[in-house]
Amino acid sequence: MSVKKIDVKKPVLENGEHYVTSDYKTRGDRSSHNGMDMIGKNKSIDNIIAIDDGVVITSTYSTTAGYYVEIRHKNNYISRYLHMKKDSLKVKKGDNVQAGQLLGVMGNTGNSHGAHLHFAVYNEKRVPQDPLPYLLGELNLEANYFQEFVSLVQTALKAKVDGIPGPETLSKTITISEKENRKHEVVKYLQSYIYKLGYTEIGVSDGIAGPKFTKAVKHYQKDNGCVVDGIITKQNKTWKKLLKLL
Ligand SMILES: [Zn+2]
């Protein structure tokens, strides 16, 4: 078994040492693996702690996940902690937890071969996200990205700025593509927001709608029932979806 140590800013293992035994699907050799498997200090078992503040929405047993916990965070994303030791769960559904709070002990319950933590992050639609940027502190589970995004877009489009999208905001939206408004101020806010939604292929926010932008927008459109053309307009539903007006 090849293990890789990662330096995390937001630990999920109490002793703060995280060895990855099986990586998230896009980096690993198991394309269906929607989380990261980890072991702790001295490549051994450790206690499992919450990555961030939130509310426990699941604390139970299943034949596949074993003893496991799910936490809903401020941005409505969910972190999951699987295969914990029998009867080791320290939190129950409805509990408010803080970052670093003890959830249970690493174990080998459910569909697991050897004690480890399967750690996963899901968005509000239960689409798995790469957990690594959250562990590294590059993304966090606290911010209300949506409201922030809406306020920035409203400012850039000279709409009324209240963080709450409505018909007035929508009426001021403009078409963004590689051909139209590709360097408009709103592009960098779109890049940042789409990245935070988990479409990390969009890359850094350079304020220019290029091929990466088009690719990530197409991916977003596909997942959200929009016309898949890589162009953000009112007409193909993409602005409405981005502003949660649909
Ligand atoms: Zn796993």
Name the nearest CA neighbour of 245 among 229, 226, 227, 222. 226
Statement to judge: residues 11 and 131 lie in one domain: yes
Statement to judge: residues 214 and 163 lie in one domain: yes
Q: What is the pLDDT of residues 192-238, one digit of tens each?
A: 999 988 898 998 899 999 999 999 999 999 999 999 999 999 998 99
Q: 124 CA to middle of ligand 1, Å?
A: 20
Show the domain range for 53: 4-135
Name the nearest CA neighbour of 79 among 61, 105, 97. 97
Q: 32 CA to middle of ligand 1, Å?
A: 10
Q: 223 CA to middle of ligand 1, Å?
A: 24
In a domain, 9, yes or no: yes
What pLDDT, on the 0 to 100 scale, is given for residue 146? 86
Q: 204 CA to middle of ligand 1, Å?
A: 29
* pTM given for the model: 0.67
Statement to judge: residues 77 and 170 lie in one domain: no
Statement to judge: residues 20 and 122 lie in one domain: yes
In a domain, 140, yes or no: no
- Reading the block at residue 8, the tokens are 């995390």
Statement to judge: residues 124 and 157 lie in one domain: no
Q: 203 CA to middle of ligand 1, Å?
A: 26
> Domain end: 77, 107, 135, which one?
135
Q: 53 CA to middle of ligand 1, Å?
A: 23
Statement to judge: residues 199 and 79 lie in one domain: no
Q: 18 CA to middle of ligand 1, Å?
A: 14
The Cα-based distances of 100 to 47, 54, 60 in angstroms read 10, 11, 20
Give the single-character DSSP code of 30. -
Statement to judge: residues 129 and 156 lie in one domain: no
Per the prediction, the chain carries an average pLDDT of 94
Q: 171 CA to middle of ligand 1, Å?
A: 45
Q: What is the pLDDT of residues 29-80, one digit of tens each?
A: 778 899 999 999 999 999 999 999 999 999 999 999 999 999 999 888 999 9
Q: 47 CA to middle of ligand 1, Å?
A: 17
At 133, which amino acid appears?
P
Q: 136 CA to middle of ligand 1, Å?
A: 19
For the cut 80, the answer to whether the pLDDT of residue 144 exceeds it is no
- Domain total in the chain: 2
Q: 34 CA to middle of ligand 1, Å?
A: 7
Report helix, strand or coil for 13. strand
In a domain, 120, yes or no: yes
Q: What is the pLDDT of residues 82-101, one digit of tens each?
A: 999 999 999 999 999 999 99
Statement to judge: residues 166 and 231 lie in one domain: yes
Statement to judge: residues 33 and 116 lie in one domain: yes
Statement to judge: residues 91 and 33 lie in one domain: yes
For the cut 90, the answer to whether the pLDDT of residue 7 exceeds it is yes
Report helix, strand or coil for 203. coil
Whole-angstrom Cα Rg for the chain: 20
> What backbone torsions phi and psi does residue 78 show, to the nearest 5 degrees?
-120, 135
What pLDDT, on the 0 to 100 scale, is given for residue 1? 58
| Residues written for the chain | 246
Q: 226 CA to middle of ligand 1, Å?
A: 32
At 45, which amino acid appears?
I
pLDDT exceeding 70 applies to what percent of the chain?
99
Distance between CA 186 and CA 180 in Å, rounded? 12
Rounded to 10°, the helix 145-156/186-196 angle is: 170
In a domain, 114, yes or no: yes
Q: 196 CA to middle of ligand 1, Å?
A: 23
For the cut 70, the answer to whether the pLDDT of residue 111 exceeds it is yes
Q: 138 CA to middle of ligand 1, Å?
A: 22
Q: 103 CA to middle of ligand 1, Å?
A: 18
Q: 109 CA to middle of ligand 1, Å?
A: 12
Report helix, strand or coil for 38. strand
Mean pLDDT, residues 164-171: 94
Name the nearest CA neighbour of 191 among 212, 162, 170. 212
> Domain end: 102, 135, 168, which one?
135
> Domain end: 114, 135, 156, which one?
135
CATH of the domain at 157: 1.10.101
